[in-house]
């Protein structure tokens, strides 16, 4: 397919689906862990599978590594069907959640393990091991045992061990979960740098949306064994396809209403939560009168004391809680109809002294292009 593209654009096609999962299903006994997942990952891409525990993301990763065989479906890596290849014969390496470093071997022996299994000549093993350790800045610790290293150092060794065989595909299982929160962000950025340097294709699994958005070039949100949305972090955040995704990636305010006006360039939606209709400046495919949901992100909502002059997209309510977060303040405003909405207000808009406080009456407004209409 990609390789046999007759129009002479093999690289393009090849890059589009370096890793391909086709209708992959995994059933354990009578529980369905993965319900028909199809997925393409491009070459050199860092792709994140994002979901809460039990959503099937780890099972998917284990099928890519070869620890589980799909009940049905195919997995194709670089135009080779690896669906039922045992783990030791796959050009795939994994960095395990708790690193799974061999406790009875030195750092050097841990990293050399994979090369020895491959039968690489001794002098080349030494060269490649130190090349990998240099990459993660752990060459000075080659003689240490894993238990003599800190969590961050163990992670680097685990990374070196999974990169030293130059796999076609690198799998990261919750790469940051064993690290302290303070060093996570710096580590995430450094990990992306190293992966970029090596140029390896990478699929990671995480339950942490911030981690996925920091590291991944594209991500897939999973729930109940299915992928519900797939795209760049920006696209998924800005155009969530469902209430689940909107709530899972960042926080959002959801209004439930019915479509009353449906024009090509805008729709009007009436909701019980607001006295004014919601104006959304993009067309939708849902019919008139249908119940839909509108998602508006907290950072798109403005809080003010003066009544807006527009006909739509505002509400009146009372501040129920204010949390100063430093660069922004998180407002909770209880609307007259009872729903509480959340707004992130930049510290630049209000100084702390004259910002609206708790129990003060306020108006909340947002622009025409702030809302996203969700059918499900």
Partner 1 sequence: MHLKIPGHRPSARQFAIGVPYVWLALFLLVPFLLVLKISFSDLQFGIPPYTPIATLQDQTLSLALHLRGYVLLFTDSLYAAVYLNSVKMALITTLCCALIGYPMAYHIARARPEIRNLLLLGVILPFWTSLLLRVYAWVGILRNDGLLNHLLMGLGLIDAPLEIYRTDLAVYIGLVYAYLPFFILPLYANLVKLDHRLLEAAYDLGARPWSAFLRITLPLSMPGVVAGAMLVFIPSVGEYVIPEMLGGANTLMMGRVMWNEFFNNADWPMAAAVTCVMVLLLLVPLSIFQYNQARQLGGRR
Contacts of 198 (CB under 8 A, 6+ apart): 135, 163
Size of the site for partner 1 (CB under 8 A): 27
By CB under 8 A, tell whether 96 contacts partner 1: yes
Give the Cα separation of 111 and 231 in Å (integer): 34
By CB under 8 A, tell whether 240 contacts partner 1: no
How does DSSP assign 196-209, residue by residue? HHHT-EEEEEES-H
Residues 76-95 that bind partner 1 (CB under 8 A): 86-89, 92-94
By CB under 8 A, tell whether 165 contacts partner 1: yes
For the chain, percent helix, then strand, then coil, each to nearest 5? 30, 30, 40
**CB-based burial of residue 376 (10 Å sphere; 0-12 exposed, 13-18 middle, 19+ buried)?**
exposed
Beta strands of 42-185 (E only): which ranges? 46-50, 72-77, 80-81, 92-95, 169-173
By CB under 8 A, tell whether 175 contacts partner 1: no
Of 6 and 103, which CB lies nearer to partner 1 in the complex structure?
Answer: 103
Q: How far is the CB of 164 from partner 1 (least distance, A)?
A: 9
Residues 184-223 that bind partner 1 (CB under 8 A): none
Helices (H), ranges, 77-150: 107-118, 122-135
Of 138 and 362, which CB lies nearer to partner 1 in the complex structure?
Answer: 138
Q: How far is the CB of 109 from partner 1 (least distance, A)?
A: 10
Site string for partner 1, 41-80 (x = CB under 8 A): ------------------------xxx-------------
By CB under 8 A, tell whether 100 contacts partner 1: yes
Give the Cα separation of 125 and 138 in Å (integer): 16
Give the Cα separation of 182 and 187 in Å (integer): 9
Residues 101-130 that bind partner 1 (CB under 8 A): 101-104, 113-114, 117-118
Residues forming contacts to partner 1 in the complex (CB under 8 A) are 65-67, 86-89, 92-94, 96-98, 100-104, 113-114, 117-118, 145, 147, 161-162, 165
């Amino acid at each position: 397919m990609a390789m046999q593209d007759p129009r002479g654009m093999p690289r393009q096609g090849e890059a589009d689906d370096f890793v391909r999962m086709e209708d992959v299903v995994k059933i354990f006994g009578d529980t369905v862990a993965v319900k028909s997942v199809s997925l393409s990952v491009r070459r050199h891409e860092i792709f994140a599978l994002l979901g809460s525990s039990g959503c099937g993301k780890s099972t998917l990763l284990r099928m890519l590594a070869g620890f589980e065989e799909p009940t049905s479906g195919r997995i194709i890596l670089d135009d080779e069907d690896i669906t039922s290849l045992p783990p030791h014969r796959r050009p795939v390496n994994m960095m395990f959640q708790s690193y799974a470093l061999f406790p009875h071997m030195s750092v050097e022996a841990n990293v050399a393990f994979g090369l020895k299994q491959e039968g690489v000549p001794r002098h080349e093993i030494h060269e490649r091991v130190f090349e990998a350790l240099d990459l993660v800045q752990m060459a000075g610790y080659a003689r240490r045992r894993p238990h003599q290293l800190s969590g961050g150092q163990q992670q680097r060794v685990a990374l070196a061990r999974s990169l030293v065989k130059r796999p076609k595909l690198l799998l990261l299982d919750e790469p940051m979960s064993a690290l302290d929160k303070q060093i996570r962000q710096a580590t995430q950025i450094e990990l992306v740098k190293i992966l970029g340097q090596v140029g390896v294709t990478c699929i990671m699994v995480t339950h942490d949306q911030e981690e996925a958005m920091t590291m991944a070039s594209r991500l897939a949100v999973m729930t109940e064994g299915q992928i519900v949305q797939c795209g760049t972090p920006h696209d998924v955040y800005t155009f969530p396809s469902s209430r689940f995704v909107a709530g899972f990636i960042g926080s959002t305010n959801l209004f439930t209403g019915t479509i009353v006006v449906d024009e090509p360039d805008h729709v009007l939606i009436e909701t019980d939560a607001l006295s004014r209709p919601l104006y959304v400046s993009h067309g939708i495919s849902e019919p008139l009168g249908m119940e839909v949901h509108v998602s508006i992100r907290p950072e798109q909502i403005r809080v003010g004391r003066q009544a807006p002059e527009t006909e739509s997209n505002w509400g009146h309510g009372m501040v129920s809680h204010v949390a100063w977060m430093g660069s922004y303040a998180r407002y909770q405003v209880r609307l007259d109809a009872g729903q509480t909405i959340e707004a992130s207000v930049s510290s630049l808009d209000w100084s702390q002294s004259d910002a609206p406080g708790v129990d003060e009456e306020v108006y909340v407004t947002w622009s025409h292009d702030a809302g996203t209409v969700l059918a499900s």
